[in-house]
Amino acid sequence: MCYVTSKRPLNRACHRSRTAVIAAGTVLGLGLSAASLAAEPVRPDLTPKLQGLLKKEMIQIELAMHEIYSAIIQGRHAVVAEKGQAIHDSFILAQSLTDEDRQDLKATVPPEFLQMDGYLHELSASLAEAGQSRDTARQVALYAQMTESCVACHSTYVTDRFEGLQDAEIPAGWGRAPAKQESGQGD
């Protein structure tokens, strides 16, 4: 490895090595950007029934998130537990969908979308537990992760509705369960 310890110019081998590292980083960065831009909005491809159910679920989640924020900063742990559980229970696949609806959903949205949605609901169950145990620090951390998940999903799959997130630079781990981040799945 080449280290710059003086004001003398880098030798050619060191310069080539540094240039190669920069080039590799640029290519990797462009590849990750292209991967994130490759996702298309999912809403237009959903059946009207699924669009309605998903919209209803997202409104319920947003309202619950507002209430959770207020409850966290006021130390109302029971409300955090209740609303966290409500978000968990709103999971779209747990709603009374017909077999055809389930097939339509799985055929329309990419597996990563369902993984991100599932992770949000896992986080909300953990938030409910943190509320029950009156663990404010954990509540704050989980709320932040849930917010990251919402932003990651919206910036990937709902850019037709949330145009302000269309060009957002979102960290690769947002919206993904830690096991999937470590193994590289879902990238």
pLDDT tens figures, 127-163: 999 999 999 999 999 999 999 999 999 999 998 889 8
User: 64 near 87, Cβ under 8 Å?
Assistant: yes
Give the pTM: 0.72
Tokens of 78: 């029971």
* Inter-CA distances, 172 with 10, 155, 179, Å: 33, 12, 13
Q: For residue 92, what pLDDT is reported?
A: 62
Q: Look up residue 160 and give its DSSP letter.
A: T
Written as tens digits, the pLDDT of the chain (187 aa) is 443 444 444 444 444 443 333 333 333 343 333 333 446 788 788 899 888 888 888 899 999 999 999 999 999 999 999 999 999 988 665 666 788 888 888 899 999 998 999 999 999 999 999 999 999 999 999 999 999 999 999 999 998 889 899 888 999 899 999 865 544 444 4
Decide: 161 and 41 in contact? Cβ < 8 Å: yes
Neighbouring C-alpha atoms within 13 Å toward the C-beta of 181: 10
- Give the model's pLDDT for residue 146: 97
